[in-house]
Structure 1
Amino acid sequence: MRESMLAMMNKIRIFGATMIAFAAVAVTSSCHDKRSTGWEYAPNMYEKIAYDPDQKNPNFKDGKTAQVPPAGTTPIGFTRFDYPNTRAGYDQASLEVKNIIAQTQSNFAEGKLLYEHYCSPCHGEQGQGDGEVTKHGYPPPPSYSKGQSSRGGAMKDLTDGKIYHTITYGVNAMGSYASQLAPEERWKIVMYVHKLQTL
């Protein structure tokens, strides 16, 4: 009989403790700010320590967070092309710059595809300067195999460096394609243009 009384008292205590726990949860959740989303699992994800690029920053002399990279540094993944957008830079690139990618069938095929997408609207499918835009009143670019370069010399004699320089900076009515084509893609187009120079 005494054991059944003890068992009953234990059940009452467990039930009481459970009810107190529920009551505590109810009280704390009812007093909680309704606009809050609750406890934060990782507050550093919401309340960051780092400065935003446009914020003032006392850690730098000029008070700006966004700093110019140190002189002479190159961003990760950026390929330098240290030839200026001048005639002298064009001529120097002609002498010094050579195609850096392997002469493979897959690179050639990709160069052809890139040429068709980016270059053929003006230069034409075969590089003859008869692209679709010339039918709408735009001046035709010179033929790669028969034309003369506006910078002098035959188009069929353009070197790797001259073609790459022109794709990078543009010339005459042709704008720069540096923002549309990565350096490796430009080299693949250079590879394909050499084929068009022989047609």
Structure 2
Amino acid sequence: MNKIKILGTIAVAITATIAISSCKDKRSTGWEYAPNMYEHLAYDPDQINDNFKDGKTAQVPPAGTTPIGFVRFDYPNSKDGYEKASVEVKSTLPQTQANFTEGKLLFTSYCSPCHGLSGKGDGLVVAHGFPAPPSYSTGVSSRGGNMKDLTDGKIYHTITYGVNAMGSYASQLDPTERWKVVMYVHHLQTL
């Protein structure tokens, strides 16, 4: 009987301790385990920071640096940059069926609304009153020359910077995807 009395007293004491400690502060989250996981010590980007001369936390990267994963395209968005890219820029992407198929899929998603599925400049936006882009096989480029004679560099430059009513697709297509679209556009030039 003594054991039951002792166990009962312990159980009542534990229950009372839990009840009292859980009711004292409704706003308390309880014990903190590894508080540095949610109370960060790092500065916020817009916070004043005495570690730098200008007092800003968000610093401009050093001149001439390239972010990880970024691929440079050192041709300016100008007629001269376009012509220079025409001569110097060539695709290094392997001419495989998988790359061609993905290029076709990307072209269908991003380019066909204006250029049409076959690259004839008969996309859906033309039906809504927008000017038709030139056909890849028979059209004349606004920068001079026939569309069927566009080189890798010219197409890549145009996708990267845009031209006329066409905006830049650099934020939608990474460099590898742009080369796949270039591969598919070359196919459309022969139709």
Residues 39 and 126 of structure 1: is their aligned pair in 2 closer, same or farther, counting only changes over 3 Å?
A: same
- What is the TM-score when the length of structure 1 is the normalising length? 0.87
Q: 2:68 aligns with which of 70, 76, 81?
A: 76
Partners of 2:129 and 2:8 in 1: how far apart? Answer: 90
Unaligned runs of 5+ in 1: 1-6
Report the number of matched residues.
191
Q: Aligned residues: percent identity? A: 71
**Pairing partner for 1:138 from 130, 134, 150:** 130
Cα distance in 2 between the residues matched to 1:22 and 1:169: 70
Select 1:28's aligned residue among 10, 13, 21. 21
Which whole-Å deviations, capped at 9, do the CAs of 1:27-61 have from their partners, x for residues lacking one? 43333x21122111121122211111121111111
Task: Answer yes or no: is 1:47 the counterpart of 2:39.
Answer: yes
Q: What RMSD in Å do the two structures reach over aligned CA positions? A: 1.8
* CA deviation map 1:145-194 (0-9, x unaligned): 11111111111111100000001100011111111111111110000000
Greater mean alpha carbon deviation, residues 141-150 or residues 131-140: 131-140
Q: Which amino acid aligns with 2:90?
A: K
Query: Which of 129-138 and 161-170 deviates more?
Result: 129-138
Say if 2:148 is the partner of 1:148.
no
Q: Which residue of 2 aligns with 1:167?
A: 159
Match of residue 175, structure 2, among 173, 176, 183: 183
Shift of 1:11: 6.5
Q: CA deviation at 1:23?
A: 4.1
Cα distance in 2 between the residues matched to 1:194 and 1:99: 12
Between structure 1 and structure 2, the one with the greater Rg is: 1
Between the aligned partners of 1:123 and 1:165, the Cα distance in structure 2 is 17
Q: Any idea what SS the aligned residue of 1:122 has? A: helix
Structure 2 unpaired stretches of 5+:
none
